[in-house]
């Protein structure tokens, strides 16, 4: 049986080209659909929302960190595709006892492109994955945004406030936008209002996910930091690392132009 290496450097044995695939990560679910695996994809999470016309036909196997293991067992997949950060380790290790589980581990654009190519080979769609990867790279190569040294706080949660810090995929895409992360802290730290006031970032970006920031929250931050630029941003285009990356460069160009 073919053996593939995942992004956690694990060897995963898969019997021929998989025909019963479960995806437990929304961005990778969209990628699998875009690679043409409508029939092979038999299970997805409740947070998998793209493409809207296709996901409604698939069995929902719980949330990314709260999988319905019993239902997954009943579906008898011949491949499960997950992610180190988005899925709960204990549940993934339990699934590994019964099924081939291929895991991604992505920290930057290069890692995302590597994932797309590897998944393409894994599911027998390497040609489509190569074309997609080349298109994403080409669009990012043409981004070429230039900004003065503007520091940004990218918020992903409210009460408590949580920001995307260093060492995250979001941080690397902020850099592609020519922005500097105001928080020199690793991963996703909780912050206080006092920290935000002390740092005084020139820009505050309020993400649409995982916390759904809305227009009403802009006033909340304007009252605290009237001198800062405050914008709502599409969290999918900053954090989804599959085929949605195709649309990120154009969105980033428009966003930066508005700053």
Domain membership of residue 115 (yes or no) is no
Does residue 147 carry a pLDDT above 80?
Answer: no
What is the domain count for the chain? 2
Residue 54 resides in a domain: yes
List pLDDT tens digits, range 86-105.
Answer: 999 999 999 999 999 999 99
Q: Do 181 and 101 belong together in one domain?
A: no
Last residue of a domain, one of 73, 105, 137: 105
Same domain, 93 and 179: no
Same domain for 172 and 252, yes or no, is yes
Residue 148 has pLDDT above 80, yes or no: no
Pairwise CA distance, residues 134 & 242, whole Å:
13
Say whether both 157 and 250 belong to one domain.
yes
Q: Binning pLDDT at 50, 70 and 90, where does residue 8 land?
A: very high
Q: Is residue 217 part of a domain?
A: yes
pLDDT at 259: 78
One DSSP character per residue, the chain reads --EEE-TTS-EEE--SS-SSEEE-SHHHHHHHHHTT-TTTEEEE-TT--SSHHHHTTSEE-EETTEE-HHHHHHH--SEEEEETTTS-HHHHHHHHTTS-EEEE--SSHHHHHHHHHHHHHHTT-HHHHHHHHHHHHHHHHTT-----S-EEEEEEETTTEEE--BTSHHHHHHHHTT-EES---BSS-EE-HHHHHHH--SEEEEESSSS---HHHHHHHHHH-TTSEEEEE-HHHHH--SGGGGGHHHHHHHHHHT-
pLDDT at residue 49 is higher than 90: yes
Tell me if the bond preceding 228 is cis, omega within 30° of 0: no
pLDDT at 144 over 90: no
Asked which of 71, 105, 139 is the last residue of a domain, the reply is 105
CATH (domain of 248): 3.40.50.1980
Q: Has residue 145 got a pLDDT over 90?
A: no
* pTM of the predicted protein model: 0.94
Same domain assignment for residues 90 and 185: no
pLDDT tier at 257, thresholds 50, 70, 90: confident
C-alpha to C-alpha distance for 168 and 175, rounded to whole angstroms:
11
170 & 93 share domain: no
82 within some domain: yes
Q: Would residue 122 count as lying in a domain?
A: no
Give the range of the structural domain holding residue 155, as residue numbers without chain letter.
151-257
Q: What is the pLDDT of residue 55?
A: 95
pLDDT of residue 160: 95
99 and 162 fall within a common domain: no
- Show which of 88, 105, 122 is a domain's final residue: 105
Reply yes or no on whether the pLDDT at 173 is more than 90: yes
Instruction: Report the pLDDT averaged over residues 35-52.
Output: 97
């Amino acid at each position: 049986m073919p053996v593939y290496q995942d992004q956690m450097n694990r060897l995963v044995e898969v019997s021929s080209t998989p025909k019963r695939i479960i995806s437990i990560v929304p961005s990778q679910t969209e990628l699998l659909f875009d690679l043409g695996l409508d029939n092979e994809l038999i299970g997805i999470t409740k947070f998998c929302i793209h493409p809207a016309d296709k996901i409604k036909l698939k069995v929902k196997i719980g949330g990314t960190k709260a999988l319905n293991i019993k239902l997954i067992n009943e579906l008898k997949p011949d491949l499960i595709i997950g992610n180190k950060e988005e899925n709960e380790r204990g549940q993934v290790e339990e699934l590994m006892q019964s099924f081939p589980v291929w895991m991604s581990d992505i920290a930057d654009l290069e890692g995302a492109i590597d994932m797309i190519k590897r998944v393409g080979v894994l599911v027998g769609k390497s040609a489509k994955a190569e074309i997609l990867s080349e298109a994403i790279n080409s669009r990012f190569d043409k981004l070429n945004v230039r900004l003065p040294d503007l520091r940004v706080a990218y918020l992903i949660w409210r009460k408590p406030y949580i920001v995307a810090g260093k060492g995250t995929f979001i941080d690397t895409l902020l850099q592609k936008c020519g922005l500097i992360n105001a928080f020199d802290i690793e991963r996703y730290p909780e912050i206080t209002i006092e920290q935000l006031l002390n740092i005084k970032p020139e820009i505050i970006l309020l993400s649409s996910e995982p916390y759904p920031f809305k227009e009403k929250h802009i006033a909340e931050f304007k009252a605290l930091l009237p001198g800062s630029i405050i914008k709502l941003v599409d969290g999918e285009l900053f954090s989804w690392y599959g085929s949605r990356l195709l649309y990120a460069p154009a969105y980033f160009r428009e966003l930066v132009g508005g700053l």
